[in-house]
Amino acid sequence: MDPEAIFEATWVQSLLDGALETFRSKSERKGKGEHVRVFEYFHLRDEEKLTYEEIATELGISVADVNNRLAYARREFRAAVLEALRDCTGSEQEMQDEARIVLGIRF
């Protein structure tokens, strides 16, 4: 890998790690710890990805609750990533450009 690509990959991972910690902290303070666990079960497992049904069984909640908690968690994690990007970019345009790279979203 070329040094620029290594730097970019490391920077993105660092940004996402920080945003994940922000998301976890804010969610726990709001009493939304279960939302974090659903997000982690679905997105952060090293093992095979679990289905909504398997997550529901594991956590003792309904599939609809898994869906709702995951939707909330994705919104909050995305907001944490965007907040982190705003903190380390010089302009709204630069933040939006980086968001396209990191999250694949357009504004």
Q: What is the CATH number of domain 13-102?
A: 1.10.10
DSSP string, the chain: --HHHHHHHHHHHHHHHHHHHHHHHHHHHTT-HHHHHHHHHHHS-SSSPPPHHHHHHHHT--HHHHHHHHHHHHHHHHHHHHHHHHHH-SSHHHHHHHHHHHT----
* Residue ranges covered by each domain of the chain: 13-102
Confidence of residue 46 (pLDDT cuts 50, 70, 90): confident
Mean pLDDT for the stretch of residues 40-59: 93
Checking if the pLDDT of 92 tops 90, the result is yes
pLDDT tens, residue by residue, 65-77: 999 999 999 999 9
Mean pLDDT for the stretch of residues 15-26: 97
Write down the pLDDT at residue 106.
84
Write down the pLDDT at residue 79.
97
